[in-house]
Amino acid sequence: MKLSHELFSRAKKIIPGGVNSPVRAFSSVKGDPIYITGGKGSKITDVDGNKYIDFCGSWGPLVLGHADPEVVQAVCKTAARGLTFGACCPLEVEFAELFCDLVPHVDMVRMVNSGTEAVMTAIRLARGFTGKNLIIKFDGCYHGHSDQLLVSAGSGLLTNSIASSKGVTDATISEVLTLPYNDIEKVTRVFKKYKNKIAAVIVEPVAGNMGLVPGDREFLASLRSLTRESGSCLIFDEVITGFRFHAGAYSQLIGINPDISTFGKIIGGGMPVGAVAAGREIMQQLAPLGDVYQAGTLSGNPIAAAAGIATLNTLRNSNPYPHMEWLATVFAEKVNAYAEEDNLPVHCRSYGGVFTVFFTARKPLHNMDDVKTCDTGKFAAFHAYMLERGYYFSPSQFELNFVSMAHTESEVAAAAEAVLEFFDIVRSE
């Protein structure tokens, strides 16, 4: 990986940490990043010519695989007519119509440029609609890097959250409460204390930034009841889950409709995009109809809209979801059977086409405290081993891995065998 090392050395001189997003630095797996020059289907190639089966998938957007022909064609055709106009374009209307057709519990959608922007808008919208200020979020759920959500739990249930980044002021987070995921008892106690002050509860219905930790349906249903009873908004952050498990929102699968939903990743087919969606009454609070302001030079640009339309149409027409779920299940079952037979402190959790290999004996995992029992040092060794054998996993114990429509049974089975080889090494140490 000589060229990757050289590029990283150059990058560190001119880019903070050598990367434009921290997890790419490989610091959590105690290595240096690889530099990717291209991808096709399930595979990526680095600058040194090494090829990998990719289970990171750009952190989720590439549900169709790399360089899907229809998405690439849509982007190239649109780009030839102009990249952006800062004005209305037909494709943004077509995208919105398609989106609302696939997510029928929403009436309107506003395109933005990232999941972070979508969540920022959703929080502002909830506060503007309810006239309240307090926000409840959950430890281990990631909602982008806006100041108000870069918070973690304080030392006591009813204490204010504490900033998880320097530069975030106490005043900014003073109206955000952080609670344990999947613990409805604690949420209920907070609602009793602050019932008339809570603008919204924001939650990942399937948490993806502490590894794969699904929200219990009872927990999510109780959030729906509590917010409805108190006149607060329930926000589902579906930046990861939207269109990941079926051609629509995850909320449709569990039959719980939030007031506001945020989307990103898949809906742009690999292009920068985000979206906030809700019923008409709430969405009409947004400018220019209402007094909740949101704007963006590149919001609804034709390139992102074209990529999104091509991706969503493919997902609707081809339905790759059973295939992806089956592959992830096969991987998890192979890993778990071997680990259980040898009583190894590791297990693989899968849902749909996503999975995480957790290096802990604790299971099932319900929240961030559970996940913190993972052996991150062992995960780092695992990641390095898999990379050396041509498998690119997300470089963090606390992230998801993704199966795409382009992955094959033989690729996934071979990856599982490589995991078992690593287990043999661990057992012999």
Among the listed residues 142, 181, 250, 392, the single catalytic one is: 142
265 part of the active site: yes
Describe the strand order of the beta sheet including 43-46 as a list of residue ranges: 36-40, 43-46, 51-54, 391-392
**Contact of 46 with 52, CB cutoff 8 Å:** yes
Q: How many CA atoms lie within 13 A of 327 on its CB side?
A: 23
334 part of the active site: no
Among the listed residues 46, 139, 183, 237, the single catalytic one is: 237
54 part of the active site: no
φ and ψ of 338, to 5 deg: -70, -45
Give Cα 358 distance to the centre of its chain: 18
Side chain identity at 54, as an amino acid letter?
D
Interatomic CA distance for residues 359 and 311, integer angstroms: 34
Radius of gyration of the chain (CA): 21
Among the listed residues 43, 132, 137, 265, the single catalytic one is: 265
**Contact of 312 with 247, CB cutoff 8 Å:** yes
φ and ψ of 50, to 5 deg: -75, 140
88 burial type by CB count under 10 A (0-12 exposed, 13-18 middle, 19+ buried) = exposed
37 burial type by CB count under 10 A (0-12 exposed, 13-18 middle, 19+ buried) = exposed
**Contact of 374 with 361, CB cutoff 8 Å:** no
Which residues are known catalytic residues? 142, 237, 265
